[in-house]
Chain A
Amino acid sequence: QQPVQSPQAVILREGEDAVINCSSSKALYSVHWYRQKHGEAPVFLMILLKGGEQKGHEKISASFNEKKQQSSLYLTASQLSYSGTYFCGATPRSGGSNYKLTFGKGTLLTVNP
Chain B
Amino acid sequence: AAGVIQSPRHLIKEKRETATLKCYPIPRHDTVYWYQQGPGQDPQFLISFYEKMQSDKGSIPDRFSAQQFSDYHSELNMSSLELGDSALYFCASISLTGAMEGYTFGSGTRLTVV
Q: Which residues of A contact B (CB under 8 A)?
A: 2, 30, 32, 34, 39-47, 49, 87, 94-106
Q: How many Cβ-Cβ contacts under 8 Å join chain A to chain B?
A: 65
Chain B residues contacting A46 (CB-CB under 8 Å) are: 102
Given contacts A40-B107, A97-B56, 12 further A-B contacts (CB under 8 A): A32-B102, A41-B107, A42-B90, A94-B100, A97-B31, A97-B51, A98-B56, A99-B94, A100-B56, A101-B103, A105-B42, A106-B42
Main secondary structure of the interface of A (DSSP, over half): loop
Tell me, rounded to whole Å, the shortest Cβ–Cβ distance linking A26 to chain B: 15
Report whether A99 and B45 are in contact in the complex, using a CB–CB cutoff of 8 Å: no
Q: In whole angstroms, how far apart are the Cα atoms of A39 and B101 in the complex?
A: 24
Tell me, rounded to whole Å, the shortest Cβ–Cβ distance linking B72 to chain A: 14
- B50 at the A interface (CB under 8 A): yes
